[in-house]
A and B are shown apart, each in its own frame.
Chain A
Amino acid sequence: MKRKSFIYIALKLFKISFSAAPIHYSIYIIFVILNGLSSAFLTLALQMFFDEIELGIKGKSITADIITMLILVGMVIVGSHIINGIDNFLSEALGEKVKRKYTEKIIEKSAQLDPILFESHEFLDTMNKAHSGMLNAYYFLGVSMVIFIYYLPYIIFMSIYLFNLNPMLALILLLAFIPTMLSQIIRTGIFSKMEDKVAPIRRTYWHYTDAICGISYFKETRLLGIYGFLKGKLVGTILRLQDATWDTQKKSRQLEAITKTLTLLGYGGVLILLVYAVLKQDISIGAFAAVFASIGTMFDTMNEAICIHINNASHSLGSVRNFVDFIEYPVIERPEYQISRNAGIVVENITFQYPGSSYKALDSVNFKISPGETIAIVGENGSGKTTLGRILVGLFDPTEGQVLLGGKNIADVNRDAAFEGVSAVFQKYQKYQMTLRDNVHISNTTFDTDENNIKDALSKSGLNITDQSFTDGLHTMLSREFDGVELSGGQWQRVAIARGYYRSHEIILLDEPTAAVDPIEESNIYRQFAELSKNKTAILITHRLGSTKLADRILVLSQGKLVESGTHEELMNQNKVYAQMYIAQSQWYE
């Protein structure tokens, strides 16, 4: 993707933000412009006031004009405070609406993404950056806009005003800020290279802190007695962290010293000009006093604009760019087709590699599944079982070869269409922090929400809904976080199975349902699954070989290759990989 320019990004963000709340946004813009103008107008009002005071001193009396000017100055001050306040308030309130819109965009895009992208470290990194970019985006847009609708009117007004007093004054004011601008550009360049040194050390530092007192390490660190050992490592890392941070900050401070000195010269120059102008009687004493009183504000405003706002905005440009890249990430549209799911699955010579890896997780795998068959896929850890499961279900496309469903290559079909009639109980099934009902219903949300169907799915999975854990029946909240109940591993597994079963399907996958479950539970789950899949095409991934008895046929994977296939008896007779694995497990029960 071509690197998007700042203008492109700012415009894109503006379009999205504006559409989030057009009226609100327009009012906000008006107030920002007013805000900038009112700050500038104060100098003019002050000058007019001082001019009257000068006259008053000469005449030794308080004239009506003085009072009028005082009231004017008062109004401008009070007015600018009120406008400023409203500006800030509108900005914050708007921010929430805009952030919501941004998040909606991320959610939308995430739904369209190819599941394989979530396996790529690079992409996950980009996604994380996009998320932080999203948080920065509103501020970033705000700064970009504010430059044009706040600072610019202010500068224009002041320049015109100063120019009217004395043409030279306007010039030098601008000149004083070129050094600040320049140094910002340099600083940005240096800073982005610097950041990277500190971040990795910080990660190591965090890990050691975690290893000493993080919950997942706590009991072991204590029982092994290695506090002293880890502390030694931590202290070493702190020293490195200090050095790296110190180095980074030093350079930035040196730069700041140079900038400030240059700006100081500018300030001195302005003063000299002011005195020169008043002594030559080109400007009144009132003007002299008013401008002198305002110089500080002028310099502060410019400093704020460049050194703070532009600085922060350029820091976040990187992540904001990631955000925009992400929400514009290209998605390939595939045509929708009707696929027959009752004609079996044909796997033709598929090979699969995870993104960024040259290792073949699956290597030239070929097999057929007849409709209504129950297939077990077994193999040691890392043999490719789960990967194969994901491909059969249609989540991943094979790198080479094809998977045909009813004669049609699933890679050619729109993914959503391909998922119709397919269901799964994943190994790392989700435990949704929602009600029991929603935890089941979530697999088929376009389906009519008849509670009986949900109850049916739950009872088929063997979950006892009348158990006292379900205080509100189907509407029990399943999560301690949100004042709900905590379920056991076995109960959750059954919820996941109900979820899988609830979704109308002809093909279903069950991937290693053994995590937090004891053997009696486990057997029951396998048996239940076998029951549920009687008339469907079912794929069971397991490494507990006893359960393969439930399958019509067994496929044995080893290091990505399909090494054996057949019924349990056939494979035992062949006395190769499967038989070996089986004996290794069963011998303990002899």
Chain B
Amino acid sequence: MKNAIKKYTLLDYIRIPFKHAPLLCCVCFIQVIITAIIPTLQILVNANFINKTILYFNGRVEISAVRLQFAFVVLLIAYQWLSGIFISKQWLRIELRLLQTLRVQLLEKQARLEYKHMENPKIHDLISRVCGEPEKRFLQSLQLLMNSFSLIIRIIGVIAIILTHVWWAAIVILVFSLPMFYIAFKGSKNSYEVGKEVSQNKRRHEYLSQLLTGRDAADERSLFKYTDFVTEKWDKHYETARQLEFKTKKKWFIKLESSSVATAFVSIAIIAVLLNPVIVGEISFGIFASLIQACFSIVQIMSWDMNGYVDGLVIANEYIKEYTKFMQLSEENDVLTVPSSPFDFKLLELDNVSFKYPGTDTYILKNLSLKIENGKQYAFVGKNGAGKTTVVKLITGLYSSYEGSIRINGKDIRDFSHKELKSMYSAIFQDYARYGITMRENIRIGNINYEDDQLHINERLELLGLDDLAEKLPGGLDCVLGRMTEEGQDISGGQWQRIAIARSMVSVSPVKILDEPTAALDPVAESDIYQKFSHIMSNQTTIFISHRLGSTKLADIIYVFDDGKVIEQGTHQYLMDQKATYYEMYENQVGWYR
């Protein structure tokens, strides 16, 4: 399912927050406008304050007039300083609201993505860039846009006041300011481009610094003493990156400084323009002084803050482009549902299936055919990379872009809904998941539709030797596992593996898939589990993937995979009699035990 091609733009930084928190955004927007107008008012109020003070000095007004102006000055400053506090509260509210709405929406989109995107490293990178704290991005960019808007209003305010007194000043100002905007914008864009170039070098030296200081490489680093050798490489990459960055930054700074100096000249020009009017009395001294004050503060903002704004806008623009790309990623229909109630499974057939991973050229499966019948035990054996796990990914519906046909009970697998496919299988993968939830929940999720009492958890625990773990843990079965969350308790790899197996046991799915389910267990435990498997799985359809051939011996049919095809199939005895690949593999392993 492809989304409508909607392009997101900078305007969406306004649209989206307003959609989720309309009232709060309006309040902030109003505040921004007021904050923008205040400086203009201040020019007038300050001017009055100065003028009244001079008049009182000359005995022309009462002290009360001065006091009044004084009050206005302080009032405006007070508003400026204190309203910021109130507003930051509203911004926080907006951020938290976006966390609840926007972030969760993006999460849901992520969860619905076609599986192929997750296994594509470039797209995976894109996803982490876009979905890492999006609410903060949107908020910051919204603030940026509002602040830029506010700055423009401020500038217009000052210019308006100047114009009411000296109309031709506008020309002078324009002449000096326009080039400056242009230079500032150009400079920012360039620095962003080079940033990307430098990042390749940066990643190199960051990787190398990990080798030099990180925990993973500590053993080899100490024993092999490679610090000097690797530091040399690190040094080289760091220097290259640094010098590249320096060159670009230098160019950028020069451009920036020239624009900043140009701004300073604008303010000199304004003062020069106002000289004659103040001398001859066309404008009061108060206005003259406070206009100069206002000009200075705008000049400050323009030269310091403006590059921050332009920088921010360029980055915001890049982000929104990536946001668009993300939103356009294809999704699966109806994929977030719970499994349906299990249906009557009879037969699964793969018929001349060929498959290569999207974006690659090598076919992993080449005209592969096999059958899975209800009630039988199957084993997939073969070298790593022969296609065993890939078949699992296809039959569970993770990928659908294969050639050939896959049918369940005679119906094409693509005609089944995800809901139905989920109810068909229960899979334990080699990289089984360790959820930071309670022990009970970690097992329950194997059959999310059932209630606890229907699952007979305690019996399974005993069977798998997990009952004393349950006793030892604080809170027993309701103890959160793993160090990933706040109060989680660490457990061993072997214990995690057994919990994954328990998950499969409570499931009522007709087809159980076990992909190297005992890698983390030691021989005695492993042997124990295998025995229990044959007992538990005896009436169920099982697909057992392993390259320890001893354990696959008991299957009804063994499929031998090689280079994307099934090259041999049959019972253990039959295959041994063939004296072909399977025989060779088996003899190789048995040899150790003779």
Contact = CB atoms under 8 A, between A and B. Distances in A.
A242 B50 contact: no
A585 B550 contact: yes
Nearest to B554: A588
Contact of A296 (B220, B225, B293): B293
B178 interface: no
A61 B280 CA distance: 7
B182 interface: no
A429 B220 CA distance: 8
B96 A264 contact: no
A324 interface: no
Interface in B262-282: 263-265, 267-268, 271-272, 275-276, 278-281
Given A245-B96, A481-B203, A296 B124 contact: no
B323 interface: no
Contacts of A353: none
B227 A227 contact: no
Interface string A220-239: 11111111110101110010
Interface stretch (A29-37, A89-97, A364-372, A397-405): A89-97
A246 B285 contact: no
B338 A546 contact: no
A546 B590 CA distance: 8
A12 interface: no
Given A204-B485, A224-B422, A62 B398 contact: no
A296 B297 contact: yes
Contact of A70 (B221, B225, B271): B271
Given A56-B279, A234-B104, A238-B100, A264 B242 contact: no
Contacts of A352: none
B372 interface: no
Interface string A262-276: 011001100110010
B234 A107 contact: yes
Contact of A275 (B70, B115, B448): B70
A203 B585 contact: no
Contacts of A140: none
A159 interface: no
Name which of B119, B211, B279 has the most chain A CB atoms within 10 A of its CB. Answer: B279
Contacts of B115: 218-219, 222
B589 A519 contact: yes
Contact of B81 (A211, A249, A264): A264
A520 interface: yes
A257 B82 contact: yes
B309 interface: no
A588 to B, nearest CB: 3
Contact of B89 (A84, A253, A285, A441): A253
A60 interface: yes
Given A260-B82, A285-B54, A81 B432 contact: no
A261 interface: yes
Interface residues of A, number: 151
A581 interface: yes
B552 to A, nearest CB: 9
A78 interface: yes
B522 interface: yes
Interface in A545-578: 545-547, 549
Interface in B196-229: 203-204, 207, 209, 211-213, 215-229
B204 A422 contact: no
B246 A93 contact: yes
Contacts of B374: none
B226 A442 contact: yes
A432 B285 contact: no
Interface majority SS on A: helix, strand, loop or mixed?
helix
B383 interface: yes
A62 B276 contact: yes
A219 B427 CA distance: 10
A425 to B, nearest CB: 10
A261 B74 CA distance: 11
A168 interface: no
Nearest to A543: B522
Contact of B224 (A56, A118, A443): A443
Contacts of A131: 213
Contacts of A547: 592
A4 interface: no
A207 B585 contact: no
B433 A77 contact: no
B454 interface: no
A544 B592 contact: yes
B215 A220 contact: no
B521 A222 contact: no
Nearest to B73: A271
B32 interface: no
Contact of B523 (A62, A213, A395, A543): A543
Contacts, number: 383
Interface in A52-80: 53-54, 56-57, 60-62, 66, 70, 73-74, 77-78
Interface in B524-567: 524-528, 530, 547-551, 553
Contacts of A580: 524
Contacts of B475: none
A406 to B, nearest CB: 19
B61 to A, nearest CB: 12
B300 to A, nearest CB: 8
A518 B111 contact: no
Interface stretch (B18-26, B462-470, B486-494): B486-494
Given A57-B285, A213-B110, A584-B523, A82 B226 contact: no
Contact of B436 (A204, A278, A297, A382): A204
A260 B227 contact: no
A285 B286 CA distance: 10
B500 to A, nearest CB: 9
Contacts of B493: 381
B56 interface: yes
Contacts of B256: 85
Contacts of A433: 207
Contacts of A81: 257, 260-261, 263-264, 303
A110 to B, nearest CB: 4
Contacts of A445: 224-226, 228-229
A471 to B, nearest CB: 15
B238 interface: yes
A107 B524 contact: no
Given A89-B250, A289-B50, A588-B550, A111 B280 contact: no
A536 interface: no
A100 B242 contact: yes
A96 B245 contact: yes
Interface in A94-108: 96-97, 100, 103-104, 106-107
B276 A225 contact: no
Nearest to B268: A74
Interface stretch (A312-320, A334-342, A482-490): A482-490
Contacts of A275: 53, 66, 70
A588 B530 contact: yes
Interface string A396-416: 000000000000000000011
Contacts of A53: 278-279, 285, 288
Among the interface residues B50, B425, B549, which one has the most CB atoms of the partner chain A within 10 A? B50
Nearest to B127: A213
B190 interface: no
A466 interface: no
20 contacts: A74-B268, A118-B215, A207-B485, A210-B484, A225-B337, A225-B448, A229-B448, A233-B437, A238-B99, A241-B99, A249-B88, A253-B89, A256-B85, A264-B74, A264-B78, A428-B219, A443-B224, A519-B547, A582-B593, A585-B527
Given A62-B276, A226-B445, 18 more contacts: A62-B275, A111-B227, A201-B486, A215-B119, A221-B433, A223-B398, A227-B111, A231-B108, A233-B437, A242-B100, A260-B81, A264-B82, A381-B520, A430-B211, A430-B217, A446-B225, A488-B384, A586-B550
Among all A-B residue pairs, the 4 with the closest Cβ atoms: A546-B592, A588-B550, A380-B522, A584-B527
